[in-house]
Amino acid sequence: MDPLISIPREALAELLRAAGSNLTPEEYVASLPATRLYERYASRAKAAAISKYVLVVVAVIAVLFLPGAWSMFGFSIEDIIVTGGLVAVTFFEYRVHRYFREHNPLAPSLGFRNQSCFAAGILIYGLYHAALLTQVSPQVQTMIETNNLIDPETLGLLQNLSRVFYLVIGVVGGVSQFGLAWYYRTAQVRG
Protein backbone atom coordinates (compact mmCIF):
# COMPACT_ATOMS: atom_id res chain seq x y z
CA MET A 1 0.00 0.00 0.00
CA ASP A 2 1.39 3.40 -1.00
CA PRO A 3 1.67 5.62 2.09
CA LEU A 4 1.14 8.81 0.08
CA ILE A 5 -2.18 9.93 -1.38
CA SER A 6 -1.98 10.93 -5.02
CA ILE A 7 -3.02 14.48 -5.80
CA PRO A 8 -2.51 16.43 -9.02
CA ARG A 9 0.40 18.88 -8.83
CA GLU A 10 -1.79 21.86 -9.76
CA ALA A 11 -4.34 21.02 -7.04
CA LEU A 12 -1.56 20.81 -4.43
CA ALA A 13 -0.07 24.12 -5.61
CA GLU A 14 -3.50 25.75 -5.29
CA LEU A 15 -3.99 24.32 -1.78
CA LEU A 16 -0.56 25.59 -0.71
CA ARG A 17 -1.30 29.10 -2.05
CA ALA A 18 -4.70 29.10 -0.32
CA ALA A 19 -2.98 28.18 2.95
CA GLY A 20 -0.57 31.10 2.53
CA SER A 21 2.50 28.93 1.92
CA ASN A 22 5.32 30.00 -0.37
CA LEU A 23 6.44 26.39 -0.91
CA THR A 24 6.23 24.71 -4.29
CA PRO A 25 4.54 21.29 -4.35
CA GLU A 26 7.98 19.62 -4.72
CA GLU A 27 9.39 21.51 -1.71
CA TYR A 28 6.33 20.61 0.32
CA VAL A 29 6.54 16.89 -0.51
CA ALA A 30 10.29 16.86 0.21
CA SER A 31 9.66 18.42 3.63
CA LEU A 32 7.26 15.67 4.71
CA PRO A 33 8.86 13.31 7.24
CA ALA A 34 6.64 10.48 6.06
CA THR A 35 8.30 10.56 2.64
CA ARG A 36 11.76 10.05 4.15
CA LEU A 37 10.37 7.54 6.63
CA TYR A 38 9.06 5.22 3.97
CA GLU A 39 12.29 5.51 1.97
CA ARG A 40 14.05 4.09 5.05
CA TYR A 41 11.49 1.31 5.36
CA ALA A 42 12.51 -0.24 2.03
CA SER A 43 16.12 -0.75 3.11
CA ARG A 44 14.99 -2.06 6.52
CA ALA A 45 12.66 -4.51 4.78
CA LYS A 46 15.62 -5.84 2.77
CA ALA A 47 17.68 -6.29 5.96
CA ALA A 48 14.76 -8.01 7.69
CA ALA A 49 14.30 -10.34 4.68
CA ILE A 50 17.93 -11.46 4.85
CA SER A 51 17.71 -11.82 8.63
CA LYS A 52 14.49 -13.85 8.53
CA TYR A 53 15.84 -16.30 5.95
CA VAL A 54 19.05 -16.87 7.92
CA LEU A 55 17.03 -17.31 11.10
CA VAL A 56 14.59 -19.78 9.53
CA VAL A 57 17.47 -21.97 8.28
CA VAL A 58 19.08 -21.97 11.73
CA ALA A 59 15.75 -22.59 13.47
CA VAL A 60 14.89 -25.52 11.19
CA ILE A 61 18.32 -27.05 11.76
CA ALA A 62 17.91 -26.60 15.52
CA VAL A 63 14.46 -28.21 15.53
CA LEU A 64 15.60 -31.11 13.33
CA PHE A 65 18.71 -31.85 15.39
CA LEU A 66 17.05 -31.49 18.80
CA PRO A 67 15.82 -35.12 19.03
CA GLY A 68 19.22 -36.39 17.85
CA ALA A 69 21.02 -34.32 20.44
CA TRP A 70 18.76 -35.76 23.15
CA SER A 71 19.51 -39.32 22.09
CA MET A 72 23.28 -38.68 22.04
CA PHE A 73 23.74 -36.30 24.96
CA GLY A 74 20.55 -36.67 26.94
CA PHE A 75 17.71 -34.24 27.62
CA SER A 76 18.72 -30.67 28.33
CA ILE A 77 16.41 -27.83 29.30
CA GLU A 78 18.97 -25.49 27.76
CA ASP A 79 18.32 -27.06 24.33
CA ILE A 80 14.59 -26.37 24.70
CA ILE A 81 15.19 -22.77 25.79
CA VAL A 82 17.63 -22.03 22.96
CA THR A 83 15.46 -23.66 20.28
CA GLY A 84 12.29 -22.03 21.59
CA GLY A 85 13.98 -18.64 21.68
CA LEU A 86 15.29 -19.09 18.16
CA VAL A 87 11.84 -20.05 16.85
CA ALA A 88 10.27 -17.03 18.61
CA VAL A 89 12.86 -14.61 17.19
CA THR A 90 12.30 -16.09 13.72
CA PHE A 91 8.51 -15.67 14.02
CA PHE A 92 8.85 -12.03 15.04
CA GLU A 93 11.44 -11.34 12.33
CA TYR A 94 8.86 -12.45 9.75
CA ARG A 95 6.45 -9.91 11.27
CA VAL A 96 9.13 -7.21 11.25
CA HIS A 97 9.76 -7.83 7.56
CA ARG A 98 6.03 -7.72 6.76
CA TYR A 99 5.56 -4.53 8.81
CA PHE A 100 8.40 -2.76 7.00
CA ARG A 101 7.03 -3.89 3.61
CA GLU A 102 3.57 -2.58 4.52
CA HIS A 103 4.97 0.72 5.92
CA ASN A 104 3.53 -0.05 9.34
CA PRO A 105 4.83 2.53 11.87
CA LEU A 106 5.21 -0.26 14.48
CA ALA A 107 7.98 -1.91 12.43
CA PRO A 108 10.98 -0.03 13.89
CA SER A 109 10.01 -0.63 17.52
CA LEU A 110 9.10 -4.30 16.94
CA GLY A 111 12.34 -4.87 15.05
CA PHE A 112 14.34 -3.14 17.77
CA ARG A 113 12.74 -5.20 20.54
CA ASN A 114 13.10 -8.47 18.65
CA GLN A 115 16.75 -8.00 17.74
CA SER A 116 17.65 -6.54 21.16
CA CYS A 117 16.21 -9.60 22.89
CA PHE A 118 18.06 -11.84 20.45
CA ALA A 119 21.30 -9.92 21.06
CA ALA A 120 20.86 -10.26 24.82
CA GLY A 121 20.17 -13.99 24.43
CA ILE A 122 23.31 -14.53 22.36
CA LEU A 123 25.41 -12.51 24.80
CA ILE A 124 24.05 -14.40 27.82
CA TYR A 125 24.55 -17.74 26.05
CA GLY A 126 28.18 -16.95 25.18
CA LEU A 127 29.07 -15.56 28.60
CA TYR A 128 27.32 -18.42 30.41
CA HIS A 129 29.21 -21.05 28.47
CA ALA A 130 32.50 -19.20 28.75
CA ALA A 131 32.18 -18.87 32.51
CA LEU A 132 30.51 -22.11 33.57
CA LEU A 133 30.52 -24.86 31.01
CA THR A 134 34.23 -24.95 30.20
CA GLN A 135 34.85 -26.50 33.62
CA VAL A 136 35.65 -30.22 33.57
CA SER A 137 34.07 -32.24 36.34
CA PRO A 138 36.43 -34.21 38.62
CA GLN A 139 34.98 -37.51 37.32
CA VAL A 140 35.73 -36.60 33.70
CA GLN A 141 39.16 -35.27 34.70
CA THR A 142 39.97 -38.59 36.42
CA MET A 143 38.70 -40.59 33.43
CA ILE A 144 40.85 -38.55 31.03
CA GLU A 145 43.95 -38.94 33.18
CA THR A 146 43.35 -42.64 33.92
CA ASN A 147 42.83 -43.60 30.28
CA ASN A 148 45.61 -41.25 29.16
CA LEU A 149 43.30 -39.63 26.59
CA ILE A 150 44.59 -36.06 26.83
CA ASP A 151 47.47 -34.74 28.85
CA PRO A 152 46.52 -32.06 31.43
CA GLU A 153 48.25 -29.24 29.52
CA THR A 154 46.28 -29.98 26.35
CA LEU A 155 43.07 -30.21 28.36
CA GLY A 156 43.79 -26.77 29.84
CA LEU A 157 44.46 -25.41 26.36
CA LEU A 158 41.18 -26.88 25.06
CA GLN A 159 39.29 -25.34 27.98
CA ASN A 160 40.82 -21.92 27.26
CA LEU A 161 40.05 -22.21 23.53
CA SER A 162 36.48 -23.19 24.39
CA ARG A 163 36.18 -20.17 26.68
CA VAL A 164 37.51 -17.84 23.95
CA PHE A 165 35.19 -19.43 21.38
CA TYR A 166 32.10 -18.80 23.51
CA LEU A 167 33.22 -15.27 24.37
CA VAL A 168 33.64 -14.47 20.68
CA ILE A 169 30.22 -16.01 19.90
CA GLY A 170 28.61 -13.98 22.69
CA VAL A 171 30.27 -10.65 21.98
CA VAL A 172 30.34 -10.70 18.17
CA GLY A 173 26.87 -12.23 17.85
CA GLY A 174 25.38 -9.94 20.48
CA VAL A 175 26.96 -6.76 19.10
CA SER A 176 26.01 -7.57 15.49
CA GLN A 177 22.39 -8.31 16.40
CA PHE A 178 22.20 -5.16 18.52
CA GLY A 179 23.59 -3.23 15.54
CA LEU A 180 20.72 -4.59 13.44
CA ALA A 181 18.32 -3.56 16.22
CA TRP A 182 19.60 0.02 16.08
CA TYR A 183 19.44 -0.02 12.29
CA TYR A 184 15.75 -0.89 12.54
CA ARG A 185 15.25 1.76 15.22
CA THR A 186 16.68 4.56 13.06
CA ALA A 187 13.66 4.27 10.75
CA GLN A 188 11.42 5.49 13.57
CA VAL A 189 9.90 8.96 13.26
CA ARG A 190 10.88 11.35 16.03
CA GLY A 191 8.41 13.80 17.37
Tell whether the model's pLDDT for residue 168 goes beyond 90.
yes
Residue boundaries of the structural domains of the chain: 1-31, 32-185
The pLDDT score that the predictor gives to residue 25 is 83
Helix axes 152-185, 138-146, angle to 10 degrees: 130
Q: What is the pTM of this model?
A: 0.69
Mean pLDDT, the chain, integer:
84
Q: What is the DSSP letter of 1?
A: -
The pLDDT score that the predictor gives to residue 1 is 38
Q: Select the more confidently predicted residue: 118 or 40.
A: 118
Residues 12, 3: Cα–Cα separation, whole Å: 17
3-class SS string, 127-182: HHHHHCCCCCCHHHHHHHHHCCCCCHHHHHHHHHHHHHHHHHHHHHHHHHHHHHHH
Q: What is the pLDDT of residues 117-142, one digit of tens each?
A: 999 999 999 998 888 866 666 776 77
